[in-house]
Amino acid sequence: MTKAALFDLDGVIADTAVYHLQAWRKLIQDHFNQDVPDNLLTQTKGLSRVDSLNAILSGLDLTVSEEEFARLADEKNDLYRQSLADLNEQGILPGISELLAELRKKGFPSRSGFSQPQRAFDSGKAGLK
């Protein structure tokens, strides 16, 4: 018997790929004054932050120390989380709001799950409360 519903934000509730791509572009532009080609960013879809950063640095023929790598990975995550503040109802995938409303109507508690804390995400602004 199902007693609750748990949903992941990335790719289930919202297509957050654009926020990830914007964060990668800003990070590389700010630190290396380079643009990241679309085809290189496409290769990062579905990869972890570490694997994505490795792919981008390799694709741009950039080398950094382990310490700088860790700082860049953390900064990218911060940029991504900050961008989630812009996520609103228009960013929610089709059918999600209706599904959540139906679950609530039937008495199912539901929560959004994240692989990491997403402090900037406002589920009310996104129309999910």
| Catalytic residue list contains 61 | no
| Catalytic residue list contains 8 | yes
Q: Which residues pair with 6 in a beta bridge?
A: 111
Residues 8, 30, 51, 74: which is the catalytic one?
A: 8
What tokens were used for 39? 């085809």
Neighbours of 9 (CB within 10 A): 20
Give CA torsion, residues 19, 41, 47, 119, to 10 deg. Answer: -20
Query: What single string gives the DSSP state of each residue in 5-54?
Result: EEEETBTTTB--HHHHHHHHHHHHHHHH--PPPHHHHHTTTT--HHHHHH
Rounded to a whole number of angstroms, the CA Rg of the chain reads: 17
Residues marked active site are found at 8, 10
